[in-house]
A and B are shown apart, each in its own frame.
Chain A
């Protein structure tokens, strides 16, 4: 290890502060994005775990019923006759407060709960916990809820349930952990007897929690009465994770892409720094500095970039993590389920990983330049021509490598498996192959241009073209980096755009009614009757048709299944079939004999039109034929659609979630709205929205969901922009002396400026143009492969020219801005200064 060589290198870096700073910024941003996404993921993961903990506690299994509730005598059979030791019942139902807030009343048997959950409790003054059993109508709640309701233990609250007003008395407070507290904010707890009485569900239970070993579970499963299911809680929490896995993988991939771009920039910068010092390196080799010493010196220098870059990146990453967390949580909240995250935990493990990643990537990106430095043979350092020639000789190698990797990429992508990992691997391989192809392509293009078009250009521009070809060793990497980043921005932009227009089209297809009425908990609590309302609306002269819809989730041993009960009446059902005969399917559907599967469901379950599917219902299992598959973006887990009448029969659920109202001929939307409002009166828990309002609200959710993607896209763009700008800039600064020679020969400052700007602009435009096909390819992969594997739905591929234009603009801007400063400097410098001491 030569200290002086290292010292010389350090000072060299210090003399190029802008390059150093930008390389550091490249590392910092890459590390920040990866760490931020990781932190957000961890925070979400913790929130999952907490909600799983709250859901299942220590229970290994649960008995539930597809129709929601089952007979309580099953508990006695299991606890007494069968002698199961760890078994606990529960009954849940919704109650509504005066202000319309909906709470969940949960009834439990305190004597059974100990093995499952334990929350601290405090006794209220003047009331005893035993009162929960002996006094009907008593509840406990978390302090947060008590504060919300503005009651203290001993106080009372009034609720509406099933059309009755009931007085409840708060006799104590619950103290679960902080995270659980957030999730339990809308819950009231009571003794199970009280719950049955208040909810009017004497004789029923919603759930039985169990702790069982597998053998007992298997034996039990067979003996359960029809209408009840034994599900493993592991399966449920797996479901939670699976639901958002695709979403999180997408985030992860985007963050790795950011890191890849950052790595590219580090490589490009370090490689510049080496190339700029070839002569010094050659000289050092002549006086006996060994290859190993030079290699080590460059690696050490990279730490000067890596360490501060990583440190800054971790700090930024933590900040970014907080921002991303709230975005992620809000998205999951919007799309999947309620999630509460208190604060972003400072996960030291993750920070350590981020640090390793930052340093690792820096060193890895510096390996090639370090090797290059070590490979400088003492003799050839003195002439640059041979370097370029060597690079030129390497071009065919690059082409071969690019083609090989490209073929590998295609193979990976065509692999018929379902793995997201191979899909992303394939995508990265495509990117790498394209990057490798860039220098050869530039060489070819510049050669063609200068030979073809050269004669029509003036001197500066002609030299610009030739200069690019000649300095491939320096420009190649920068252009590849710019191209990859622009392609990423374009690809992601095209994908999101295509998705959005597909969703928009689908919304237009699905929303067939003019107005939609949604019937909520409070309305039912006030005594609303969905069927009666349907009839009343149908009788209105302004109304041509009323459709009914209910969505519910059914727990099966394989996880949760979403059912959509639909009664489209006589009109268009708004389902876009992608397989199955539409006419026959409609007939079968209306007859209640068949179901339709959404695309995601069909893909995941491996089912198609003509197959049979078994659904657990109140009758045990109901078997249906699949009449067709329809396009649906409401859930990436998939939906099973069936006719409402059949649903009501088999699932014993009378509830209607929503009505669609179609106006009769000659009625405008205002008139329809007025008519509907007239029927509804001022009831609470009921909402009316027009077709257009729903459409824009849905798209708003969509846009919110993709905020994260856009944020990451922006970051990639920023990283690319600055990094490439710096690379091009430093390259031009390096050539300032050459410009001085030209000036000495008589070129005007204007001509010099044109040379410099012409060169960078050409590079930029070339990068941009090359980025277009790559961007389209990336978008195609994202849409056709990754989205399909992640979410199991397909969408139309729309190539939005505006996105392409933005990409070109980004490339050109980076290149031009990168050239402005050097152009100005080159033109301004006095040639004498630069010619001295040549």
Chain B
């Protein structure tokens, strides 16, 4: 007998933002544990013999555990103002499809969006997260042709060509981002033809390609003020299942755009004891050559401790590639660029200064650091 009150309560699934008793890092685990606990059987593993083809592989790979469309960039605004942004759409698979379901809400895909913005001059950083289910309701998803990736009203979509240029819009509570990404060099296949090994076991790998330098222009809305911006963006695409090996705690990932032409991508997989895993790898462009752990020396120079989470991050690094006669200092433009969302990690704009073959070289880029908290992640 209905008493006229639609009494609803919510199921106890992802109370990610509402577990006050738990520490943020533990809270962050919720997603990870949800995903980690979810049945991995039946999902596909990265295949070394597979070579990505386009535009097919711009789209989603629903049978792999995790996937992302990862966009970072440094922007210049009016009056010499400097900004950094990150826009990412993640996809997670909860399992393999067993049956056809009648409801359009039915799905095994969970989508997540991260949006972050750095205002260098004002020393402000802002990050926000969205989560939505996949399924036929169209709340979130991605398509290959035409290329789109969206979560609610955050959206990346090709304008008319198969891939680039791409229009990007995202909004959250007084902040807005609208960019157009123009064609740039790429796709750059990371690892071996896009097969990026990250651990010893079969499947401890992902398929990975990048567009390391996409000219970007558009508008940023900051607290009601609309600012025109231009700059350079970096798009990373990756998909895989349980990519990291068991000994790896996290990684430090560098995506640097150097002013003398060429880009550098390097990820250092960090072990429990803090040492670099030998499977750490990267790529230099122009010409394209692969980097290996042995050939790269990374030394943290300065640390910053987050007042919110208490985690200590190295926000300044020395990166040396002797074989290239390349020594770079990579410095965060702002120390406080920690993303304290369902997953906690540090991702921020950096400036680069150094020497290549004795000639001074500068650049800009993004640095991502994970796994500096007490417990390991395992996407």
Contact = CB atoms under 8 A, between A and B. Distances in A.
A119 to B, nearest CB: 5
B132 interface: yes
A174 B153 contact: no
Contact of A75 (B15, B99, B137): B137
Contacts of A280: none
Nearest to B110: A111
Given A183-B7, A187-B9, A111 B14 contact: yes
B38 interface: yes
Interface string A102-122: 101010111111111111111
B19 A118 contact: yes
B8 interface: yes
> Considering residues B6, B99, B131, which has the most beta carbons from chain A within 10 angstroms of its beta carbon?
B6
A553 interface: yes
Interface in A69-106: 72, 75-76, 79-83, 85, 88, 90, 92, 94, 102, 104, 106
B7 A189 contact: no
Interface in A547-576: 553, 555, 560
Nearest to A142: B9
B12 A191 contact: no
A132 B3 contact: no
A203 B103 CA distance: 7
B173 interface: yes
Interface stretch (A35-43, A50-58, A432-440, A476-484): A50-58
B16 A114 contact: yes
> Considering residues B4, B105, B110, which has the most beta carbons from chain A within 10 angstroms of its beta carbon?
B105
A206 interface: yes
B153 A80 contact: yes
B102 A196 contact: yes
Contact of A54 (B7, B38, B103): B7
Contacts of B10: 57, 88, 108, 110, 113, 116-119, 189
Contacts of B11: 108, 110, 113, 121, 132, 140, 174, 189-191
B12 A129 contact: yes
Contact of A114 (B7, B17, B171): B17
A134 B95 contact: yes
B9 A196 contact: no
A338 interface: yes
B309 interface: no
B153 A197 contact: no
B139 interface: yes
Given A102-B1, A134-B95, A202 B103 contact: yes
25 contacts: A51-B5, A76-B139, A80-B152, A82-B153, A102-B1, A108-B10, A110-B10, A115-B17, A117-B8, A118-B12, A118-B19, A121-B11, A121-B15, A123-B37, A130-B34, A130-B35, A133-B107, A134-B38, A136-B101, A174-B11, A175-B12, A193-B105, A202-B104, A206-B6, A555-B4
Contacts, number: 181
Which 7 A-B pairs rank lowest in CB-CB distance, beginning with the nearest? A121-B12, A110-B13, A83-B153, A113-B10, A193-B106, A193-B103, A118-B18
Contacts of A119: 9-10, 12, 15
B185 interface: no
B28 to A, nearest CB: 14
Given A174-B11, A337-B4, A134 B101 contact: no
Given A123-B37, A133-B108, 19 more contacts: A54-B9, A57-B8, A75-B137, A80-B153, A83-B171, A104-B7, A110-B10, A111-B132, A117-B8, A118-B19, A119-B9, A128-B39, A130-B37, A134-B39, A174-B11, A187-B9, A194-B103, A207-B8, A236-B5
Contacts of A206: 6
A56 to B, nearest CB: 9
A444 to B, nearest CB: 58
Interface residues of A, number: 75
Given A102-B1, A111-B133, A121 B7 contact: no
Interface in B1-57: 1-19, 34-35, 37-39
Given A114-B18, A129-B13, A92 B105 contact: no
Nearest to B133: A111
B133 A55 contact: no
A172 interface: yes
A590 interface: no
A121 B152 contact: no
B172 interface: yes
A337 B3 CA distance: 6
B138 A76 contact: yes
B94 interface: yes
B137 to A, nearest CB: 6
Nearest to A555: B4
A80 B154 CA distance: 8
B165 interface: no
A184 interface: yes
Interface of A: 51, 54-55, 57, 62, 64, 72, 75-76, 79-83, 85, 88, 90, 92, 94, 102, 104, 106, 108-123, 128-130, 132-134, 136, 140, 172, 174-176, 180, 183-184, 187, 189-194, 196-197, 202-203, 206-207, 209, 236, 337-338, 520-521, 553, 555, 560
Contact of B34 (A57, A83, A116, A129): A129
Nearest to B109: A133
> Considering residues B1, B5, B15, B152, which has the most beta carbons from chain A within 10 angstroms of its beta carbon?
B5
B135 interface: yes
B12 A203 contact: no
A470 to B, nearest CB: 64
Interface string B167-197: 0000111000000000000000000000000
Nearest to A111: B131
A128 B37 contact: yes
A82 B139 CA distance: 12
A94 B138 CA distance: 28
A132 B94 CA distance: 10
A92 B35 CA distance: 28
B5 A80 contact: no
Nearest to A187: B9
A174 B7 contact: no
A560 B12 CA distance: 30
Interface in B132-167: 132-133, 135, 137-139, 150, 152-153
